[in-house]
């Protein structure tokens, strides 16, 4: 299946720097030729800019979070319907930085995924274990529990999810899961999707995230069940990001 590369800018950017970066992305030949699929998830304040620069290209874009509520007295929250006004295609839900710093539970993440799907936005469901959980041998149990909460909430719509396996110990640390380590987790997630969605689970995309760089992307993306990447730090560097897009197109 065609690989999907998604950049996560996290809380970085400003209008001027974004413009340069987006113009560079818009000119990327691997994306323009359709050799890989690609998206950028930016802070909500810049979604209008992504829409302006990318709407005439093959790029898609997304947000990094969404409210579990539809509308009302939820100061500071942004609903899925509001994101849809900016034609977003994706929204990250359950990123480990949200689980860790904002106390997001599996059930809240599941509710967010439901809201996104109801608005016609594809949730990218992030799952992953901490270093302590890996050392205790709990990796598979943790990721299965996190994904099960979402599958349970969205029912037959599970076929429409994108899943991102992001070991917490690899995010922003420069430490990457080895390709076989990542593949082992992806295979478990694949089996879970197939159990929930039948053969459609075979075509659901499972991305790897956690210090993916120009240097390690090709080896990770060569694994059977690694269908793309969720890229933080390297997505802010046009040359590195374009090398990852190249690796995804060649994989």
Residues of this chain that interact with ligand PEP (CB under 6 A) are: 8, 10, 166, 171-172, 209-212, 230-234
Which residue's CB is nearer to ligand PEP, number 91 or number 230?
230
CB of 239 to ligand PEP, least distance (A): 15
* Residues annotated catalytic, as ranges: 95, 166
Which residue's CB is nearer to ligand PEP, number 119 or number 214?
214
CA angle (206, 210, 216) in 5-degree steps = 90
CB of 198 to ligand PEP, least distance (A): 29
CB of 156 to ligand PEP, least distance (A): 28
Q: Which residue number is nearest to ligand PEP in terms of Cβ?
A: 232
Residue 127 φ/ψ, nearest 5 degrees: -130, 155
Neighbours of 214 (CB within 10 A): 17
Report the DSSP beta bridge partners of residue 37: 4
Residue that the structure tokens 């099960």 belong to: 148
Local structure of residue 103 (DSSP, 8 states): -
> Who's near 14: CB < 8 A, 6+ residues apart?
none
CB of 170 to ligand PEP, least distance (A): 6
H runs (alpha helix) in the chain: 15-26, 29-32, 47-54, 80-84, 96-101, 106-118, 131-135, 139-154, 179-197, 217-221, 238-250
């Amino acid at each position: 299946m065609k690989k999907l590369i998604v950049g996560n800018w996290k809380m970085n950017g400003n209008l001027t720097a974004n413009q340069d970066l987006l113009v560079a992305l818009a000119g990327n030949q691997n994306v323009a030729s359709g050799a890989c699929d690609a998206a950028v998830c930016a802070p909500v304040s810049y979604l209008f800019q992504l829409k302006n620069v990318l709407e005439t290209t093959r790029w898609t874009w997304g947000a990094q979070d969404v409210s579990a509520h539809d509308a009302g007295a939820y100061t500071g929250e942004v609903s899925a319907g509001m994101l849809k006004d900016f034609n977003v295609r994706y929204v990250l839900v359950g990123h480990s930085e949200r689980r860790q710093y904002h106390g997001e539970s599996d059930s809240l993440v599941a509710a967010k995924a439901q809201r996104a799907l109801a608005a016609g936005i594809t949730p990218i469901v992030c799952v992953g274990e901490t270093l302590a959980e890996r050392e205790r041998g709990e990796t598979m149990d943790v990721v299965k529990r996190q994904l099960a909460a979402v599958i349970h909430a969205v029912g037959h719509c599970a076929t429409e999810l994108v899943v991102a396996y992001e070991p917490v110990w690899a995010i922003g640390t420069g430490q990457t899961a080895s390709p076989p380590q990542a593949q082992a987790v992806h295979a478990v997630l694949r089996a879970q999707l197939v159990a929930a969605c039948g053969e459609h689970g075979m075509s659901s995309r499972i991305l790897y995230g956690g210090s993916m760089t120009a240097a390690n992307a090709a080896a990770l993306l060569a694994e059977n069940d690694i269908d793309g990447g969720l890229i933080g730090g390297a997505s802010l560097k046009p040359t590195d990001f374009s090398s990852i897009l190249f690796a995804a197109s060649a994989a």
